[in-house]
Amino acid sequence: MLYFVLILAGFAGTRILTPYFKDMICESGMVRKNYKEDPIPVSMGMSFLPLMLVNCAIILYFEKYEFVGTYMFAVMAMSFAGIIDDTMGNRSSSGFKGHFKALFKGKLTTGAFKALFGGLVALFASIPISTGVLDMIINTLLIALFTNFFNLMDLRPGRAIKVYFTSCAAVFPFIPNDIRLLAVGSISSVMGYFPEDIKARAMMGDAGSNVLGVSIGMLVALGLGGGAKMGALIFLVLVHLIAEKYSITKMIEGNRLLDYVDKIGR
């Protein structure tokens, strides 16, 4: 019954609120050209937050799980960092190397702020859910790198959310029931927004991709064992190393299967 309530609240609530967020963002002038040069509202990922907060409140009321507050703090803090980058960022520097190279020269980019702030959020969220120093380090890296991983994925309509759904499906069978409730509470809200993203009617921006990343990072940190965590961490490190040298989009477009899946629904 609780699963049904979370799904209904997250999906229906986000579908209802999305047009209001679009109007608010457009009226504020937060419109940016997408990869097709069409002007659309950006930072729409903030529309995930109200119903994710509602669903976490429902879980906390009925189950009293201590980690729910930590989870929601991490989600909201990472979304805040994404909103800063969406609203104030410029694209003169890109990638970890570019942002930190600028920082060493005395220039703080929004990308560097997002990386540093995101790392601190990941550390803060990891402390109460870790069993020791090594586990805390691994959890911190997982949360931080998953967050940036979804930034890398969010370059075409629907891509990051497809990867998010796939990631949730991959971890869902292996995490405890209490952690599954968190996943359902988040997935339902993202599903409510998904039609806007896949049809390129709105851009969730880092405000949204950060939410997807930190959500998966927290699920993995909370629900999986040490071996699975290390496997995920190795995967993330490899992806980030590749992304510093090559275009993820070009790699996807160069693979028939990945390109086909990437374009479904557009």
SS (H, E, C) 237-265: HHHHHHHHHCCHHHHHHCCHHHHHHHHCC
Mean pLDDT calculated for residue range 151-174? 94
Residue 177 marked in a binding site = no
- For 156-218, give the DSSP string: STTHHHHHHHHHHHHHGGGS-HHHHHHHHHHHHHHHHHHHHHHTTS---HHHHHHHHHHHHHH
pLDDT of residue 100: 61
Token reading at 224? 């999986």
Give the residue with greater pLDDT, 94 vs 165.
165
pLDDT tens string 48-61: 999 999 999 999 99
Predicted model pTM: 0.90
Give the residue with greater pLDDT, 65 vs 12.
12
Mean pLDDT calculated for residue range 224-234? 94
pLDDT band (50, 70, 90) for residue 37: confident
Return d(Cα 44, Cα 193) in angstroms, integer. 9
pLDDT of residue 65: 87
pLDDT band (50, 70, 90) for residue 150: very high
Question: Is the pLDDT assigned to residue 106 strictly greater than 70?
Answer: no
pLDDT band (50, 70, 90) for residue 239: very high
pLDDT of residue 93: 52
pLDDT tens string 133-146: 999 999 999 999 99
Mean pLDDT for the chain overall: 90
Residue 90 marked in a binding site = no
**Lowest-confidence segment of 16-20, 119-123, 197-201, 243-247 by average pLDDT:** 243-247
Question: Is the pLDDT assigned to residue 102 strictly greater than 90?
Answer: no
Amino acid at 266: R
- Residue 258: phi, psi to the nearest 5? -65, -40
Give the residue with greater pLDDT, 107 vs 258.
258
pLDDT band (50, 70, 90) for residue 112: confident
pLDDT of residue 113: 82
pLDDT band (50, 70, 90) for residue 266: confident
Parse the chain into domains and list their residue ranges: 2-263
